[in-house]
Structure 1
Amino acid sequence: MIEKVIKRVVKGQQVSDGAGVSLNRLIANSKVNNIDPFFLLDEFRSKNPDDYIAGFPMHPHRGIETITYIIEGSFKHKDSRDGGGLLKSGDVQWMTAGKGIQHEEMPAMEKGHLWGYQLWLNLPKKMKWLEPKYQYLSKGKIPVIKKEGVKIIVISGSIEGINGPAQNSVPSEYYDVYLRKGKKIKLNAKKDFNSLVYIHSGRVKIQNEDFEKGELIEFVEDKEINIESVSVDSGFLFLSAKPNKEPYARGGPFVMNTREEIIQAFDDYEKGKLF
């Protein structure tokens, strides 16, 4: 009998956000509210400028970390604390909103393929009032493990003795993994962590079950995950983090612990206090 390692499998929903950006929303849709502490996972992936050119104009956040990973294309970032910069292919922006910040992310390209992901990590109650901070992780600073037919981009966490550069408020792992046909990899769904795989390219086999591009898989904790590529090339994101297991309230760009705190966040924003 094969040990059960898969908890559930879901697919994203097409939504429009920002000023009209077309997104594949995998977490924070009508079927999946959150997978603690992951409160949003969006994929933006299009060669049509109409799908992304409007971008994400200035907007607020409180109580979370937002992680933007660009695989192809480029984004300009600016925030209300005079931070900013250019995100290029392979770069990551890891922003701790904490007690509150405003930022915008706008395409730095008028045509071509834009492909990337935004992830929200919910901060635990004791960290929701941290001072905002911003980590720019350039492609050159993100380690890559390369073996025959296997590539692992280590954004956060530790694998095979290699540490990702992200400084975590929430203990987490974030890898972008690529496998040639027939190649295999073993990953661990840690005890007391929620672990996910999102297949962004090709097809894979996990514990003798077939999965394809566009599927998000949640795993039973404290299990070994065996993944094999069954197409010419396959790729997936591996996300794992320790859940907060706390009450939460969500309102637009804010995630707090109570409805009163959400109301206060909107009030602070309207009064210009989120900067």
Structure 2
Amino acid sequence: MFKVIEGEKVKDGAGVVLNRMIGIEKLQDIDPFLLLDEFRSDNKDDYISGFPMHPHRGFETITYMVKGSFTHRDSRGNEGNLNAGEVQWMTAGKGIIHEEMPAMENGQLWGYQLWVNLPSKLKMIEPKYRHLTNEDMPIINGDGISVKIISGRYGEIKGPIELYFPVEYFDVGLKGGTFEKELKGTNIIYVHSGKVKIYSDEEIEVEKGNMCIITEQEKVKITGEDGGFLFMSADPINEPVARYGPFVMNNMDEIIKAVDDFNEGKLV
């Protein structure tokens, strides 16, 4: 099945302007993906307020910076700059409080945040923070194609980190080349540059700023003369989802416990 989703302009954090693809009225989530935001602007007023301290529990956040820089700080003592091309992979697990604030006052800020759910057996694991530099992530260059591997495997090349829950996450550029990949249960393609043609049991063209969801297919082929996209793929968890702001659990009793723990300072 193919489905194309147009993003919605929203504000989050302390007023950051976002193009939100997942976590909107027409697509609350697509198991196991809970949220996908693109922040991309040359106007400092769109991003300068950042994302001040806020809590998470029950899932993972993956922040990929294409241009510009954020400063990360959290309640577990992790701190540092997330610069162009780098990735912050944070497992919130049983709970963490963090902030992401621009480390720049002018220029283009361009990046993504993806939320990936965790199965019930992993929701209360210890939080973990991993910073991936450009040197950590392999880039495969072929005939008219480049594939940056943030996580998972492309061909014989594997990404840099061992994951609690397997997710494939690539940044792909096409200059007349072809991207081919075997698929998992849930697959999303967010076109960030130009346009691409996607082939499986049908054909569809997707333009910049839109996302294609593919399910119930074994393979995909994507072509483009001057296009780029994020490819994210994982198998669904198939568990109930209870969601309240920055907490994602399996039922409302667990959500209430998360809110109580945060109010009582137990996430620090």
TM normalised by structure 2 equals: 0.97
- Distance apart, 1:44 and its partner CA: 0.3
What corresponds to 1:3 in structure 2?
none
Whether the 8 Å contact between 2:70 and 2:100 is mirrored in structure 1 is yes
> Which of 245, 248, 266 in structure 2 is aligned with 1:252?
245
- What does residue range 124-203 of structure 1 map to in structure 2 within 5 Å? 124-180=119-175, 182-190=176-184, 193-203=185-195
What corresponds to 1:89 in structure 2?
84
What corresponds to 1:52 in structure 2?
47
Distance 2:246 2:212 in 1: 25
1:20 paired to 2:15: yes
Whether the 8 Å contact between 2:94 and 2:125 is mirrored in structure 1 is yes
- Distance apart, 1:185 and its partner CA: 1.7
SS at match of 1:171: coil
Whether the 8 Å contact between 1:60 and 1:100 is mirrored in structure 2 is yes
Whether the 8 Å contact between 1:94 and 1:166 is mirrored in structure 2 is no
- Distance apart, 1:189 and its partner CA: 1.5
The list of structure 1 runs, each at least 4 consecutive aligned residues, that deviate by more than 6 angstroms after superposition, is: none
SS at match of 1:245: coil
Structure 1: runs of 5 or more not aligned: 1-5
- Distance apart, 1:250 and its partner CA: 0.2
Whether the 8 Å contact between 1:21 and 1:53 is mirrored in structure 2 is yes
- What does residue range 71-90 of structure 1 map to in structure 2 within 5 Å? 71-90=66-85
SS at match of 2:45: helix
SS at match of 1:33: coil
1:209 paired to 2:204: yes
Distance 2:120 2:30 in 1: 17
Residue identity in the other structure for 1:57: P
- Distance apart, 1:223 and its partner CA: 2.1
Higher mean alpha-carbon deviation, 120-129 vs 160-169, is at 160-169
| Superposed CA offset, 1:1-33 (max 9, x none) | xxxxx4311111111000000001100001101
Distance 1:15 1:40 in 2: 13
- Cα root mean square deviation, aligned: 1.0
| Superposed CA offset, 1:69-120 (max 9, x none) | 0000100000001111110001000000000000000000000010000000
Distance 1:95 1:209 in 2: 34
Distance 2:68 2:8 in 1: 23
- Distance apart, 1:200 and its partner CA: 0.5
